[in-house]
Structure 1
Amino acid sequence: MDDDILIDCGTGVGDLEYGQLKRIDHIFITHAHLDHIAMIPLLIDSVGEARGVPVTVYGSAETIRILRSHIFNWLIWPDFSAIPDRHRPFLRFQVIKVGETVRLARGAVTVMPAHHTVPAVAYCLDSGDGQLVYSGDTAYCPELIAAINRTPHLRHLIVETAFPNEQQGLALASRHLCPAMLGAMLDEITVTPEVHISHLKPGVDDRIMDQLSSYRGPLRPRRLMHGQELTF
């Protein structure tokens, strides 16, 4: 895949240099929680004037509605879909649905289901040679498992595990995963990707990974590291 795509736009985007930010043409948002959208306003503000085409933000209808109503509303942040004018904006929104595929210059992104406290999706990135699935924030989701099993060339699965097992009640209430719940999910996956764990809560991240180390299924979860590059 190209370096003009972001999947979600949290604070980690602040690690990118200006030239890297300016190359971003497409931002695919899983859901509207702040840790997944926080840097969109600042990114557009930083590079919008220097680009010849708008940055396209993709998301479900509800996610786009939330961004328009609560972020780009002239109160929290300017509406960059109307700056400098609606015919030549710095930002454009595109609603996408589960099952839809967006074809890009090199590769494609397909929307998968997820289950969270707000409308949420996962994404499958397809380079033409291999595939990567990013779960975003999700609880146990049979529909996502089925979609993963229909991804025959899946090389990498990035999946969240936000809470340790002793906080399973909190994981259920907030529709996140804990190691036991992830284990149940992995038991049902019939393809054989490398599994990378994201969204580890600070302070309990080592505890979560220790608990995941006891999983005895064929897939071996490992921590997704800062700066790690995955090829597919």
Structure 2
Amino acid sequence: MKFRVLGCSGGIGGQEMRTSAFLVDDDVLIDGGTGVGALEYDALLRIDHIFVTHAHLDHIGFIPLLVDTVGNDRRSPITVYGTVETIRILRSHIFNWLVWPDFSAIPDRHRPFMRFQVLKVGETIALDGRKISALPALHTVPAAAYCLDSGDGQLIYTGDTTYCPALIAAINQQPALRHLVVETAFSDAQHALAMASRHLCPSLLSGFLEALTCRPEVHISHLKPGHGERTMAEIGVSGGAFRPNMLVNGQELEF
């Protein structure tokens, strides 16, 4: 499997500051932030599945535009996966005919442009020999992490989370974990803000990594614009044996 970074920033502020969106092979999208806008039309048309970690705007903002752009030219609906709470939020607050049309009913409910599928934490979806499993995460809204399994190796993307013992336990249960993409939104100077918003900062990340019994490559996502350099410097001091690296747009991880 190939995991391509379309956007991994915790905010906007220039061409390279695109929010969370990751393309798996050419047909699966993990989160749908502004990074989706980096894809050409033909690439957008090939996306059949979207797995959403949680319903915050920087992770879902371009999903409505994606479905609107390609829906009429597809032969089957795009499937949007998420926890029951995440899908409820998307239905109630985004695809509600006020903020955006309900594309699960366009052109009609028998032939929609988009369909929702509830995915429980702990549940696995099989897609052409690939497996995608929802793992627990802890954020200000209901959230999930995802484990991608090619059969030869695994990658875990945490989405947005603070220190989460249940997620750490789930990570430690993966036998062939090669890559861990983990958020660190704030520097240690913003520790109180990280705690209040249920994000990680370098000191919290250090505790997170120390609790791992596996040794994947660690990639940092969701750095806040204007603070990324400082945050990565602090991670470099506290990251221990993992030596985490900063994820960048266009980067591709294979497993």
Instruction: Classify the TM-score, shorter chain.
Output: over 0.9
Structure 1 residue matching 2:219: 3-state secondary structure: strand
Aligned to 1:77: 100
How far 1:212 sits from its partner (Å)?
0.6
Counterpart code for 1:39: F
How far 1:217 sits from its partner (Å)?
2.3
1:209-228 aligned within 5 A:
209-215=232-238, 217-228=240-251
Report the structure, 1 or 2, having the larger strand content. 2
Structure 2 residue matching 1:214: 3-state secondary structure: helix
Structure 2 residue matching 1:43: 3-state secondary structure: helix
Structure 2 residue matching 1:146: 3-state secondary structure: helix
Between 1 and 2, higher relative CO (CA 8 Å, sep ≥ 6) is seen in 2
Answer with 114-123 or 97-106: which moved more: 97-106
TM-score (norm 1): 0.99
Aligned to 1:56: 79
How many matched pairs? 232
Among candidates 136, 145, 148, match of residue 113 of structure 1:
136
Among candidates 188, 198, 202, match of residue 221 of structure 2:
198
Structure 2 residue matching 1:82: 3-state secondary structure: coil
Runs of 4+ in 1 over 6 A off after TM superposition: none
TM-score (norm 2): 0.90
How far 1:40 sits from its partner (Å)?
0.6
Aligned to 2:50: 27
1:187 paired with 2:210, answer: yes
Structure 1 residue matching 2:254: 3-state secondary structure: coil
Give the CA RMSD over aligned residues. Answer: 0.7
Shift in alpha-carbon separation, 1:196–1:91, aligned structure 2, 3 A: same
Shift in alpha-carbon separation, 1:184–1:100, aligned structure 2, 3 A: same
Shift in alpha-carbon separation, 1:216–1:200, aligned structure 2, 3 A: closer
Aligned to 1:136: 159
Give the percent of matched residue pairs that are identical in Structure 1 and Structure 2: 68
1:91 paired with 2:114, answer: yes
Q: Is the 8 A contact 2:209 2:239 kept in 1?
A: no
Structure 1 residue matching 2:112: 3-state secondary structure: coil
How far 1:105 sits from its partner (Å)?
1.2
Alpha-carbon separation, structure 1, partners of 2:100 and 2:163: 35
Counterpart code for 1:166: A
How far 1:215 sits from its partner (Å)?
2.2
Among candidates 149, 163, 167, match of residue 190 of structure 2:
167
- Any stretches of 5+ residues in structure 2 without a counterpart? 2-24
Structure 1 residue matching 2:111: 3-state secondary structure: coil
The CA deviation string for residues 60-115 of structure 1, in whole angstroms up to 9 with x for no partner, is: 11110010011111111111000111111000000111100000013010000000
Among candidates 104, 110, 126, match of residue 127 of structure 2:
104
Alpha-carbon separation, structure 2, partners of 1:159 and 1:42: 26
